[in-house]
Structure 1
């Protein structure tokens, strides 16, 4: 039931996509906070003829699962690794489904962790800001590697599909290169005396 309207879920249609949803139990520090996982790599292909119908049915299924599992606050982890663009929902779908979520589930959402965010996805999320509340937008956090996820949830073993684990090293290498580049820039700035010609020209 969504907004007091009964909804019939087409179990046969969504059967191949049920693995998009997972539960990782409760936070050990607070046994009331549920951890929910969404795996983008298992989302339907946008090129499917009945894509809109499948997405609606899948949303009803995920919504039903959330209603059953979430009694208090919850954390949502979205795994974007190994997700091709043709499996990433368009912004209009995200906006539509967000508006269909009831107030309790919106309010009880403590945080959203996006694992393996691409530059493209971060741009889409930034552009979608006008369509969501500021509170919702500030709940979004990016985790670039699985090791960062494990650091964030050290006591909660979260099931990660092999296909996502296999792509983690790509994100790890890219993230390490970015950090090294930032570190070198900071070191160069720190070693440069204030007021030097080089710093003046850079300014």
Structure 2
């Protein structure tokens, strides 16, 4: 890609500080910082121009060995998959060879899917350069924070995270404060030092039913977790005509705050928050279920079914074998997604779009084995191709299930024909 430094749009992009140099690491190599929170609105700024600007910056900074720190959260805008593929192709061997370490910090949301996929493609040699960092205090001994000139949204995001070791003694907390400035009265402000005990997300439906039973909720055969009902009913009332519902991302800070409150069973009035917080919490709820609603193996029940009646019968068999609470939630979610699709002329969420967004969350795939080692790029690409095929099968299956949800859960045999 030919890039001209005098491009007038570069001056505007440069002010956003998407990418900048931040001194040297302990081995004297330039440190380049890239912040997702600084990415512009793609509806306003052409991302091809952003890429050209980034490459221009890299050309001046990567003539020799360098390290890159990517701060993935908060991210207000998500680049398209096609643009990310274009970025990958534009980064030729020069950039990859001289890159000696890539630190990915605060990996959440959309960028987690991107890196999950990238892990299946990258060579073992490049994977050795990649490090995931969950907290700034873990990064500080490697790349001193005082040199990074981090934007305020990154600092705010860090402050609302649970501590690395919330159960540590006071001495440990003091030590952390002394080295990184993130204790209870640290350099960047006050930070929680309490461990979050989840009472909504990441718990099995049996666990949630028991918690609700203890707190006085009447648990019947048709039990659905009240927290899921709260979010979906809010979306039914206020989000059905919202353009891009389930596609757009909310503020990461507010999302974490609401999720934390719900996990503590603290009453939350969702009307006081961006509607996209509720939609993303629904996706998060089903994704974090320890017992999945469906798996990629369940999807294969449709492989040999060619006619509608047979397909419905095969999937009904899968559904009948689900635990009762998982069966309830699956029916509840599919019915709701069907309602969302009924408003697609306004919200742009067709059944296909909903399936693309929900399949990775609702249908769990077998994770790659820790012993999987790819000795060649060809092997990595082959594994990635298998994953993409499985993902597409899941999307196709979920699209069909949303369309057929009434027949799948009906006892009226005439609906299956």
Q: CA deviation at 1:78?
A: 0.7
**CA distance in 2 between partners of 1:13 and 1:164 (Å):** 24
Is contact 1:9–1:57 with CA below 8 Å preserved after alignment? no
**CA spacing shift, 1:152–1:30, aligned 2, 3 Å:** closer
Q: CA deviation at 1:105?
A: 1.2
**CA distance in 2 between partners of 1:178 and 1:143 (Å):** 20
Q: CA deviation at 1:103?
A: 1.5
Q: CA RMSD in A?
A: 2.9
* 3-state secondary structure, aligned to 2:87: helix
What residue is the counterpart of 2:140 in the other structure?
150
Q: CA deviation at 1:34?
A: 1.1
Q: CA deviation at 1:150?
A: 0.9
Which has the larger share of strand? 1
1:110-153, Cα deviation, whole Å (9 max, x unpaired): 11111111165333311233444443344221111111121222
Is 1:168 aligned to residue 158 of structure 2? yes
1:154-176, Cα deviation, whole Å (9 max, x unpaired): 386111111211121222x1654
Is contact 1:41–1:82 with CA below 8 Å preserved after alignment? yes
TM-score normalised to structure 1 length: 0.70
What residue is the counterpart of 2:83 in the other structure?
93
1:22-171 aligned at under 5 Å gives the runs 22-27=20-25, 29-31=26-28, 33-46=29-42, 48=43, 51=45, 54-84=46-76, 87-118=77-108, 120-154=110-144, 157-171=147-161
* 3-state secondary structure, aligned to 2:149: coil
Considering Cα pairs closer than 8 Å and 6+ residues apart, tell me whether 1 or 2 has the greater RCO.
Answer: 1
**CA distance in 1 between partners of 2:3 and 2:114 (Å):** 32
What residue is the counterpart of 1:11 in the other structure?
8
**CA distance in 2 between partners of 1:10 and 1:178 (Å):** 53
Is contact 1:22–1:36 with CA below 8 Å preserved after alignment? yes
Is contact 2:33–2:69 with CA below 8 Å preserved after alignment? yes
When Rg is computed on C-alpha atoms for both structures, the one with the higher figure is 2
**CA distance in 1 between partners of 2:132 and 2:65 (Å):** 20
Question: Mean Cα displacement is larger for which, 125-134 or 61-70?
Answer: 125-134
**CA spacing shift, 1:66–1:13, aligned 2, 3 Å:** closer
Q: CA deviation at 1:58?
A: 1.3
TM-score normalised to structure 2 length: 0.36
* 3-state secondary structure, aligned to 2:100: strand
**Matched pairs, number:** 169
Unaligned runs of 5+ in 1: 182-203
**CA distance in 2 between partners of 1:74 and 1:155 (Å):** 17
Unaligned runs of 5+ in 2: 169-194, 197-417
Q: CA deviation at 1:94?
A: 2.0
**CA distance in 1 between partners of 2:165 and 2:83 (Å):** 33
